[in-house]
Structure 1
Amino acid sequence: MKRPRFNTLFWRLFALMWVTLILSHLTAFVLAIPLTTGGASPVERMGWSGMATLPSLPPGSLLDAGSGAPRAPAPGWLPTDGVAPPAGRQPGGPPGLPIRTLWLDYALRALLIGVGAWLGARWLAAPMQRLAQAATELARGLGQGSPPPRLDEAQGTEEVRETARVFNHMTRQLQEQFDQRSLHMAAISHDLRTPLTRLRLRIERLPEGVAQAAIADIREMDELIDASLAVVREQSGGAGPSVVDLGAMLQSLVDDLCEQEHTVDLAEPPALRVRVHPASLRRTVGNLVDNALRYGGRARLSVEPGPEGVAVHVDDDGPGIPPVQLQRVFQPWVRLPGEQRPGGSGLGLAIAKDLAEREGGILRLANRDEGGLRATLTLPLA
């Protein structure tokens, strides 16, 4: 159904102001004069029949209000009854109103226009409020498996409907990109299983010592694939976060790394619980610990409650990061120049930051005064 051309923001505002202005004139004309003239009707008070087009100001002015001074004839004005005006009165229309009437008239008009402006502001701001609410829902739910918010494309003015169409198109594109990314990640993790299985069968024919070391590496790759698939399932399955014992989760992670002969320490954590997706949290902390081990040789974990939530610190003894580069290293594929850093592809911190923000957390990096780097993951308490 094609809507009329005047259904635009301009015409709505124009009509609203006209209705408010007319209502203010009528209200002042009907209420202000009788209230201040002993109940006399406006026509009786003014001594003339009929009413021409409403003026932009009340009859009379503050200059001649209540003075009784004759007014200059209005161009082309003639008495409507054909009777000559009384002595001392010029044929220029009604005399000036009493000052009390004028002030009441102005007050009524100001009140009605103020009410009209308030209603108009709420009326015109309603589409912006709906857009802001939808954008907030999109930021919270994108990539979490829940359907993206949708604005009504058949409601409001042309500008509002066009904005709704653009917003809905954008949300569909974003959701498709997130779904494709998750699908590609799951496909890669799934397809790696087959060559790893063949590699394990071939390694079993090698000498015992070499075979055991290679099988351990393959087992670690399998665990990484399982972790990646678990994160994808959590993010795209629509399952909400669950309450996790933070200390127990960190202790389990440290025990697994120690079994692989990594140097990882965990200070005695307080009994704290957080509401997160377990696989995402484990992957986030795992990436931070892996970063500390790669560049510092060892990692020390500690937990500290604070005003923003609970903070998980991961400290290392590495060279640290130049202060101007502390935010840049969160970008994908970024590796700092001029340093001989073993391995890595520049994705670990970027993935950790993305997963942390999806859990409602904050990830920060800072150089320690005693040397090395501190990564702090702040999570809201359950």
Structure 2
Amino acid sequence: MSLPTRWPIFWQVLGLSLAVLVLALGINTFVVLNAPDPPPAGYTLEEAGAALKTGQVELQNGRTLTAVTTATAPDFVAEPAGRGHFGAISGALEHSLAMQLGVPADTIKVHIPPLRRQVFGARPPSIEANRVVMFRREGPGPPPGPDGGAGGEAGFGTDGPGGPLPPPQDGAGPIVRIERLELRGDVVFPPFSAAWKLSDGSYRVITPPQDLIAPWQLRLLIGFGLTALLILPLAWWLSQRLAGPIVAFSEAASKIGVEDTAPPVMAIGPREVRQAADVLNAMQIRIRKQVESRTALMGAIAHDLKTPLARMRLRIEDLPLPLRDKLADDIAHMDGLIRSAMSFTSAHKLGDSLRPLDLSALVETLADDLCAVCEMDQALIEPNIMMKGDMVALKRIVTNLVENAGRYATSCRIELAARGPSAEVRIIDNGPGLPPDQLETVFEPFYRVESSRSRDTGGTGLGLSVARSLAEAQGATLTLHNRYEGTQVIGLEARLVLPRLMRK
């Protein structure tokens, strides 16, 4: 079965459902019509007699017929002779079993359970006392009468409530006429129960063996199993067919916003996926245009501010020293704001400048160089960790994090370790930490924990924003976590997780 890939998901799923339905019906029909007939559920008189004698016998159909000895009589022993379903045949079975066992006939009682109803509606008539089984005696002379003497036709086990039934009239009811009634020992009879009254008053009873699964149920289970085996490959094939375009769509969508030059999402697969791809591609174009406009605007602002800042540096040279120093600090601060804003807006362009580099050597060098920014404890750096990244951007990230730690803590430590396919850089300080609700908020542009905006108590509010933007541009993640000793915060940990280059 081949479904066009461009069909809507609805029609593909509907087609699979119909195929499964037709396949299931076909397999089960084939099993029902072609499977061999199950062995008969009953047993012969010889097998029943052997079970009563020995206590257990293996039947021709593979089941085991077991006799159980009980001190009390089974319920069916109390039934009047000739009553119930198959009353006449029960009497003949009792007589045959008694002859086989060599015991009086009145010590054997046979009970044939009623047949299950096969169809809905009226219950089929059962063989009751009003169904007469007639026979003739061989040889000359008149047939025996009801009491065994001569004259008339006799009923076998056909006594009614008022005594022997009269000979049936033509058309007076269902009559089965048999010239000779014989019960052969090798004929399989429907399952029946039999009780043999022993000399000590106890009863040895056989009952039809109960199967956990009937033959017809086994056929259905075989059909279900074959259906499942044949449907699984079909379901797997269609699932792969449906999931392939969706997985490709997800992978392409994940690159949007990370890779500035990410290709458009391929519009392939079902109609719904193609429509989503078209919408996503249009959104990607709009986002790229907005980012480019923002970058161009920030570049223009920075360029236009550089000229007046340069003139201000020249003009303050003639001012008194105290005033000149203050103005120089203001100009430097404005220049830092401009550089931070430019770094924040241009971080998405790092994709073209990523190169393999030795992250261990870079972090070790930074740990030595940044001792003047923050008092550094002994760095713990795992050697020979490689990654694909931008060296300048990585220096900026680590520097921003160490500067942030030096601003609020008395000391910090840099750690670098490999974690499977990733490399983890951690800057750990002993500062006051952050309120839990601000661990993410501090990454927002121009957000500062200290709200006075004073340069003496905080930075520009862009340091962490720039660090996270540069990290995400290299496929990394940057998060902050409080460090606890019991329930008390003992510091802050900045965790930078980068993809590493695995050695072959």
TM over 0.5: yes
**Matched-pair contact (CA < 8 Å) for 1:321–1:367:** no
Task: Please state how far the C-alpha of 1:147 moved relative to its aligned partner.
Answer: 2.3
CA deviation after TM superposition for structure 1 residue 198, in Å: 1.5
- CA 1:102–1:347 in structure 2 vs 1: closer, same or farther (change >3 Å)? closer
Query: For residues 78-118 of structure 1, what are the alpha-carbon distances to aligned partners after superposition, in whole Å with 9 as ceiling and x for unaligned?
Result: xxxxxxxxxxxxxxxxxxxx847665544433433444333
Structure 2 residue 312 is matched with structure 1 residue 195: no
Moved more, 229-238 or 12-21: 229-238
- Tell me which residue corresponds to 1:156: 270
Q: CA deviation at 1:339?
A: 7.5
1:175 is paired with a residue of what secondary structure? helix
Structure number with the higher strand fraction is: 2
Q: SS at 2:479's partner residue? A: strand
Match of residue 249 from structure 1: 366
1:329 and 1:209, CA in 2 relative to 1: closer, same or farther beyond 3 A?
closer
- Name the structure 2 match of 1:313: 427
C-alpha displacement at 1:331, in angstroms? Answer: 3.1
What does residue range 152-301 of structure 1 map to in structure 2 within 5 Å?
152=267, 155-157=269-271, 159-206=272-319, 235-236=348-349, 238-242=351-355, 243=357, 244=359, 245-252=362-369, 254=370, 258=372, 263-269=373-379, 270=381, 272=383, 273=385, 275=387, 276-295=389-408, 300-301=412-413
Matched, 1:18 2:132: no
Amino acid at match of 1:349: L
Cα displacement string for residues 264-292 of structure 1 (whole angstroms, at most 9, x for unaligned residues): 33345446455332232233233334434
Q: Which residue of 2 aligns with 1:302?
A: 414
Per-residue CA deviation, residues 120-146 of structure 1 (Å, 9 max, x unaligned), is 3333333432332223333xxx24432
Q: Which has the higher helix share?
A: 1
In structure 2, what residue type is equivalent to 1:309?
A
Deviation (angstroms), 1:214: 5.9
CA-CA distance at 1:232 after TM superposition: 5.8
CA RMSD of aligned residues (A): 4.5
Q: Which moved more, 1:360-369 or 1:159-168?
A: 360-369
Shift of 1:150: 0.9
2:229 maps to which of 107, 111, 126: 111
Q: How many residues align?
A: 311
**Local SS of the residue matching 1:265:** coil
Shift of 1:302: 2.9
Report if aligned partners of 2:417, 2:424 keep a CA contact under 8 Å in 1: yes
Q: What is the CA–CA distance in structure 1 between the aligned matches of 2:24 and 2:480, rounded to whole Å?
A: 58
Inter-partner Cα distance in structure 2 for 1:339 and 1:373: 23
Aligned to 1:330: 443
Structure 2 residue runs of 5 or longer lacking an equivalent are: 38-115, 121-214
| Equivalent residue number for residue 72 of structure 2 | none
Following superposition, the deviation at residue 236 of structure 1 comes to 1.2
Residue number in structure 2 paired with 1:130: 248
Relative to structure 1, the CA distance from residue 337 to residue 193 in structure 2 (aligned partners, 3 Å threshold; closer, same or farther) is closer
Q: Secondary structure at the match of 1:279?
A: helix
> Offset of 1:199 from its aligned partner?
1.9
Q: Is the 8 A contact 1:186 1:228 kept in 2?
A: no
Task: For 2:303 and 2:30, locate their aligned partners in 1 and report how far apart those are by CA, in whole Å.
Answer: 80
Once residues 144 and 121 of structure 1 are traced to their aligned partners in structure 2, the CA distance between those partners, rounded to angstroms, is 30
- Between Structure 1 and Structure 2, whose CA radius of gyration is higher? 2
Percentage identity across paired residues of the two chains: 28
Which residue identity does 1:346 align to in structure 2?
A: G
Which of 357, 376, 381 is the aligned partner of 2:494? 376
* Uncovered stretches (5+) of structure 1, i.e. residues with no partner: 38-68, 74-97
